[in-house]
Amino acid sequence: MIVLLNGADLSVPVLGVDRAVEVKCRADGFRELYGWLDERDILIVKADRGEPLVVLRLSLAAEIAKPRAE
């Protein structure tokens, strides 16, 4: 049985800790984020008095998370 953290969509282990992941999909709702990421690898966004967020393509996140042979 899979128990999700705080009703999250997914639970993903990151650095030995299960992380709650929320997934959102909109037909055209994130167009501006994709535009800002065009020809860039990573986007950092921040609201006033809010903690900065890092936005990157899932393929890059998977590459970063992939174990490396030493």
**What's the CA gap between 65 and 15, in Å, rounded?**
9
pLDDT at 1: 47
In a domain, 19, yes or no: yes
Domain count across the chain: 1
**C-alpha of 12 from chain center:** 11
Q: Which two tokens stand for residue 32?
A: 């501006």
What confidence score (pLDDT) does residue 70 get? Answer: 67
User: Is residue 46 situated within a structural domain?
Assistant: yes
- CA dist., res. 65 & res. 70, Å (int): 15
Is 18 among the domain residues? yes
Q: Which two tokens stand for residue 57?
A: 């393509």
> pLDDT truncated to tens, each residue of the chain (70 aa)?
455 667 889 888 888 888 899 999 999 889 999 999 999 999 999 999 999 999 999 999 989 888 777 6
- Look at residue 70 and tell me if it is in a domain: no
| Cα 53 off chain centre by | 9
pTM of the predicted structure, to 2 decimals = 0.75
- For 23, the domain range is 5-65
